[in-house]
Amino acid sequence: MIAIHNGTARLDMTMFAERLQSTRKERKITQIRLADMLSVNPRVYNRWERGTAVPQLDTIVKIADILGVSLDVLVGREKSTHQPVIHNLKLHAMLNEIDALPDEDQKALVILMDSLIKRSKIDRVLAA
């Protein structure tokens, strides 16, 4: 929620902390895992969810990207309606199994997928 005070907009950080925690939990990501993905200390991340500290704007943008939500959803201006859409039926069926893998295996899978996506982008550029 954005509060207007003396003509300036101020974000209600309690709302941000609540949305951060609920969105993270909806995605079944631990605090430690998200802190690792953001390259921040888990204690610092924990303070964000408790509302005792606020991340920098660029970090809030990274959080929104990682969680797959808009900034408006993350700060409570919009309700979350995000459901991941995977059109490949086999990949969609594997989603829960992938989510159940240990963090190290998930990290390896992310590296592999990232390299495949980058290779595909390079192939498209070279073909153009």
pLDDT tens for residues 50-76?
999 989 999 999 999 888 888 888 887
**What is the rounded CA–CA span in Å between residue 109 and residue 56?**
29
Least confident of 21-25, 63-67, 95-99: 95-99
Does residue 61 fall inside a structural domain?
Answer: yes
Task: Report residue 43's pLDDT band, with 50, 70 and 90 as the boundaries.
Answer: very high
104 and 62 both lie in a single domain: no
The DSSP string of 15-35 is: HHHHHHHHHHHHTT--HHHHH
CA atoms within 13 A on the CB side of 11: 21
33 and 67 both lie in a single domain: yes
Total domains in the fold of the chain: 2
pLDDT reported for residue 84: 57
Does residue 82 fall inside a structural domain?
Answer: no
94 and 63 both lie in a single domain: no
Q: How many helices (H) and strands (E) does the chain have?
A: 7, 2
7 and 66 both lie in a single domain: yes
67 and 99 both lie in a single domain: no
pTM: 0.57
